[in-house]
Structure 1
Amino acid sequence: MEIATKIAPLGLALIMLGLGLSLTIQDFIRVVKIPKDFLVGFISQLVLLPIVALSIALLLNLSAELAVGLMLIACAPGGVTSNVITKFADGDVALSISLTAVVSLISIISVPFIMFTSMDFFEIGIIKEISMTGIALKMFFVVTVPVLIGMIIKHFARNFVDNQAAIIQKISIILFILVFAAIYIEEWDNIITYFTQAGLPVLLLNMSMMLLGFYIAKIFASGVAQQRCISIECGLQNGTLALFVGTQMFGESIATFIIPTAAYALIMMMTSIIFVFILRKNT
């Protein structure tokens, strides 16, 4: 996966820059003003998602490598794609953006913690000499810094950025597709094997979280738009970030651990499109 591992850091930084260009201080203030909906989505994504992934790994008796790979995609925050899909689903886009922004910023702590804990649990030694702090610092520079730069640019050139919002979203999605297209092209001969190994667990994880998010939000969130948003946020993860973390932790052995992420990236797009189609048909 040499090509993919080289473009992942750049692709992730540009995607996070695009996220920053879509954010304002109001997106963070909204979290404080309307905390209930945010907390439902936040807990579902940051706490419930890894627990469900761990349960699936144990239930299916996955190999240690696949189990850790499943935890890798499960601890990744929602991606920019979730904001676009939420818009198509007539969900609460403002809530989606707030969840993506806050969980992405917190991910520099949560992702290393969950990954190192998962590796201890499944008894996998750290392949590269890197600490939890080292991973967090690298994530800070490719996640937090680009987001802050994007917000600063928007503050000083708001009209220009707002006028180009649609193009910025499209570029972010294209970058996401390019990163995973590189994986599929480079590993084409192994694709069937990968999906045979990881297809069922990632499908179960994706479907379980979209359904759990949907019905948990139905009980605790304030409305239908928020329910749709939280369901999508629980089902769509930032695969590019997961790929970046994987390259930093596993180096040349990443292929084994990144199988669930590659499979999840394709499956989540298919299920989200079906989900939007069903929602729009029933409204």
Structure 2
Amino acid sequence: MESSALLTIGLPSALGIIMFGLGLTLTVGDFRRIAESPRAVVVALALQLLVLPAFAFGLIQLFDMAPLLAIGMMLLAASPGGTTANLYSHLFRGDVALNITLTAINAVLAAITVPIITNFAINYFGAEGQVGLQLSKVVQVIAIVLAPVILGMIVRRFFPGFAASADRPVRTFSVAVLALVSVGALVAERENVADYARQVGLVTAIFCLGSLALGYTGARLLRLARPQAIATSFEVGIHNTAVAMTIALSVLDSAEAAIPAAVYSVLMYVLAAVFGYLITRIDGTGKDSAGGAAAPTTQHAH
């Protein structure tokens, strides 16, 4: 995809605004809360940072994906959880405070993990001649992911009224950008859309449902309470696909690498809702499987 002002300036700037909006919803207390449930945080992060990329890598091998699409899948797996996970967790009686804590941690870790996983994929799938993520671009990723989050947190700390009033407009902007970028990525590759749909439609759907299931069952097998397992499932299964698409389009300069995230951005909302409904029906409504009441989830919700 040819470089343009839209990709080199507009898209990173839009992502910066989205990440700034994320920062407006976070406080230092969200990081301090790690001490309240360290086990749940460690389990969720292990599933997200280690198991999920391994799962994506396995699917890539199984479906024998083309190199750039494979890189796009790994970039999707590396992208942090989306703030929408908080909403889904609240709707299906998850531990929203845990979601907010994980969102805060992931916003910081993504600046490190996204370049590492993306560079691994570029080297492994042999696409060095087409895309690259050198040191200067790693710094660019950190700048568009981490710096706006920190700025948003500072603004919230000193101007809480502005942070509260800006929340809705920034969320609306985020949805609009995500829709535009998704459509733009698909339009840019319109001649290959049918082929891409065949290659990534099924694999992204499996990845989405598998991610949600891994988050939930992994947390339960490691003896986390049901509300924490629900929170983990949505944090692992719902990604900030705007991060993946922005890096693919503006940093890697590849519309093809953005296709998996574009398709996932459409599928994940529907599949996450279906998954939430199913675990509510199967595992009991509002109850922990051990019989206790679900933990309250309204505190700290955004």
With the length of structure 2 as denominator, give the TM-score of the two structures: 0.84
Q: Provide the residue aligned with 1:263 in structure 2.
A: 263
Give me the whole-angstrom Cα distance separating, in 2, the residues matched to 1:139 and 1:250.
11
Q: 1:60 to 1:193 in 2, by over 3 A?
A: closer
- Counterpart check, 1:207 vs 2:209: yes
- Counterpart check, 1:234 vs 2:232: no
Give me the whole-angstrom Cα distance separating, in 1, the residues matched to 2:275 and 2:234.
9
Q: Within 5 Å, which residues of 2 pair with 1:155-234? A: 155-162=157-164, 165-188=167-190, 190-220=192-222, 222-234=224-236
Q: Among 50, 55, 66, which residue is 2:53 paired with?
A: 50
Q: Provide the residue aligned with 1:89 in structure 2.
A: 92
Q: 1:231 to 1:178 in 2, by over 3 A?
A: same
- Counterpart check, 1:40 vs 2:43: yes
Q: Provide the residue aligned with 1:110 in structure 2.
A: 113
Are the aligned partners of 1:232 and 1:272 in contact in 2 as well (CA < 8 Å)? yes
Q: 1:153 to 1:91 in 2, by over 3 A?
A: same
Structure 1 vs Structure 2 CA RMSD? 2.3
Q: Within 5 Å, which residues of 2 pair with 1:134-145? A: 134-145=136-147
- Counterpart check, 1:66 vs 2:69: yes
Partner SS state of residue 252, structure 2: helix
Partner SS state of residue 155, structure 1: helix
Give me the whole-angstrom Cα distance separating, in 2, the residues matched to 1:112 and 1:129.
10
Give me the whole-angstrom Cα distance separating, in 2, the residues matched to 1:97 and 1:243.
23
Partner SS state of residue 14, structure 1: helix
Unaligned runs of 5+ in 1: none
How many percent identity over aligned positions?
Answer: 29
Q: 1:62 to 1:109 in 2, by over 3 A?
A: same
Read off the aligned partner of 1:215 and give its amino acid letter: T
With the length of structure 1 as denominator, give the TM-score of the two structures: 0.89
- CA displacement at 1:256 relative to structure 2: 2.1
- Deviations 1:154-200, CA, capped at 9 Å, x for gaps: 11122443365455444433333333233345555543332112111
Q: Provide the residue aligned with 1:17 in structure 2.
A: 20
Q: Among 147, 168, 171, which residue is 2:149 paired with?
A: 147
Q: Provide the residue aligned with 1:76 in structure 2.
A: 79
Are the aligned partners of 2:21 and 2:167 in contact in 1 as well (CA < 8 Å)? no
Are the aligned partners of 1:64 and 1:122 in contact in 2 as well (CA < 8 Å)? yes
Give me the whole-angstrom Cα distance separating, in 2, the residues matched to 1:62 and 1:196.
11
- Deviations 1:87-127, CA, capped at 9 Å, x for gaps: 22222222112212211211111111111111221222153
Give me the whole-angstrom Cα distance separating, in 2, the residues matched to 1:65 and 1:107.
21
- Counterpart check, 1:30 vs 2:33: yes
Q: 1:160 to 1:267 in 2, by over 3 A?
A: same
Give me the whole-angstrom Cα distance separating, in 2, the residues matched to 1:89 and 1:170.
23
Q: Among 244, 247, 252, which residue is 2:246 paired with?
A: 244
Are the aligned partners of 2:76 and 2:241 in contact in 1 as well (CA < 8 Å)? yes
Give me the whole-angstrom Cα distance separating, in 1, the residues matched to 2:280 and 2:175.
22
Read off the aligned partner of 2:15 and give its amino acid letter: L
Read off the aligned partner of 1:142 and give its amino acid letter: I
- Counterpart check, 1:273 vs 2:276: no
